[in-house]
Amino acid sequence: MARFLIVEARFYDHLNDMLVEGARAALANAGHEVDVLTVPGALEVPGAIALASESDLYDGYVAIGVVIRGETYHFEIVAGESARGIMALTMDGMAIGNGILTVENEEQALVRADPSQKDKGGEAAKAAMALLDLQTRFAA
């Protein structure tokens, strides 16, 4: 059994609820413990994961959030930089599943967030568990 932290950028409550539900279910079904930490936005997710990793309380992390394209360049910055930050931590050996949706509209987000449809929260949790398994495998 491992302990995972879901770090969610809480902006779209109804979408986040579905993403967290999917992630929690996937982790619970695998027998893992789960905590949830909420941050203001997707740009804060990598920093929060980095800070939490210093505590040695968690074995893996699931990043959750929704970034919907708007009329400005801000979408590209938020989507790209949050993904870059998560990837940098992953490349440093952390087990992180990226469930931050980057979509054109709310309809796309609903399909991806819903655990009964694409279940991207659950998929992100499964990715984090797979990376944790690899960590364990290569540490031996």
**Cα 56–Cα 137–Cα 30 angle in degrees, nearest 5:** 70
Q: How far apart are CA 121 and CA 106, in angstroms?
A: 16
Q: Which residues of 84-107 are buried (b: 16+ CB within 10 A; e: fewer)?
A: ebbeebbeeebbbbbbbbbbeeee
Residue 25, marked binder: no
- The verdict on whether residue 8 carries a ligand-binding annotation is no
67 annotated ligand binder: yes
Q: Which helix (H) or strand (E) holds 64?
A: strand 60-68
76 is in an annotated binding site: no
Residue 71 counted as an annotated binding residue = yes
Annotated ligand binding at 112? The verdict is: yes
**The amino acid at 133:** D
Q: How many CA atoms lie within 13 A of 57 on its CB side?
A: 12
To the question of whether residue 107 is assigned a binding role by annotation, the answer is no
Instruction: Write down how long the chain is.
Output: 140
Task: Please indicate if the annotation marks 11 as binding a ligand.
Answer: yes
- Please tell me whether 98 is known to bind a ligand: yes
Active-site residue numbers? 74
- Residues in the annotated binding site for 5-amino-6-(D-ribitylamino)uracil: 11, 42-44, 66-68, 98
- Residues in the annotated binding site: 11, 42-44, 66-68, 71-72, 98, 112
- Residues in the annotated binding site for (2S)-2-hydroxy-3-oxobutyl phosphate: 71-72, 112
